Amino acid sequence: MTDARTPQQTWFITGSSRGFGRALVEAALEAGDRVAATARRPAQLAEFVERYGDRVLPLALDVTDAEAARTAIERAAQHFGRIDVVVNNAGYANVSPIETTDDADFRAQFETNFWGVYNVSKAAIPQLRAQGGGLVIQFSSVGGRVGGSPGIASYQAAKFAVDGFSRVLAVETAPFGIRVMVVEPSGFATDWAGSSMTVADISADYESTVGAMNSRMRQTGSRPAGDPRRAAEIIVRTARRPDAPTHLLVGVNAVDMSIAYSEAQLAEAHRWETVSRSADFAEPFPAAFPAELPA
């Protein structure tokens, strides 16, 4: 529960009916906070109202609807008086190779995974600015940092876009006391790769890439390593800190993959440094290229 050292916070969480969103709603309420929990079908949140009463406000929200996002933010702020933490969690992924992906499906995923984040973040800025600050938490993925997961190009491209958008959002709104934290999980035991995911027919040409990735995500017979309840508690505790990181990795694979990726990027930048610098007028040109590596 809250005390003098941990003042009660008010959360606004999208995609609250399942997965990370649901775990976050419960973790915030267990911490003594208040939550505006949004979902396409808010009736799915009835159990929280029964358990926590007026500390939870279920709201209907399709994040792809910008006007609905503004209305939901306004209703939450009017009901609770303020919003301290906005969580953009709603999202999903379908599996198919880029070559054979249905264009409408690719766009529909992007509408939720990126434009949903844009809509809610933009709607929240006036409220957070007027009250003197707050925290915006954007759910990304370790794939939104390292990339390269075959079969989920729309989802992963959207997560990269969320990161770029969030970096600009953080700089623009910092003078208003608004902070931004991007959460980058690895595999967790949620429904993300279950009934929420549609898998298109995968041809033999893509069996070694998209097919193999699909098997790892859905057909291994073992659940992902990450515990969403633990992650939710970590996020709730982190949100209380004035020094919350700009990017929060959650899960062993997220940490290992990110460190390996960053080290490889740095090594590549150093290897090509002289060539890269030589493109500027003031630098020596031409520059010696690094020796070719074996194919």
| 49 and 122 Cβ atoms separated by less than 8 Å | no
140 as an active site residue: the answer is: yes
| Alpha-carbon distance values, 36 to 88, 229, 257 (Å) | 12, 19, 34
Among residues 16, 96, 140, 149, the one annotated as catalytic is 140
| 251 and 186 Cβ atoms separated by less than 8 Å | yes
Among residues 16, 17, 118, 159, the one annotated as catalytic is 159
Among residues 149, 155, 166, 206, the one annotated as catalytic is 155
What contacts 249, CB < 8 A, 6 or more positions away? Answer: 142, 184, 185, 255, 258
Q: 3-class secondary structure for the chain?
A: CCECCECCCEEEECCCCCHHHHHHHHHHHHCCCEEEEEECCHHHHHHHHHHHHHHEEEEECCCCCHHHHHHHHHHHHHHHCCCCEEEECCCCCCECCHHHCCHHHHHHHHHHHHHHHHHHHHHHHHHHHHHCCEEEEEECCCHHHHCCCCCCHHHHHHHHHHHHHHHHHHHHHHHHCEEEEEEEECCECCCCCCCCCCECCCCHHHHHHHHHHHHHHHCCCCCCCECHHHHHHHHHHHHCCCCCCCEEEECHHHHHHHHHHHHHHHHHHHHCHHHHHCCCCCCCCCCCCCCCCCC
What contacts 130, CB < 8 A, 6 or more positions away? Answer: none
155 as an active site residue: the answer is: yes
Which active-site residues does the annotation give? Answer: 140, 155, 159
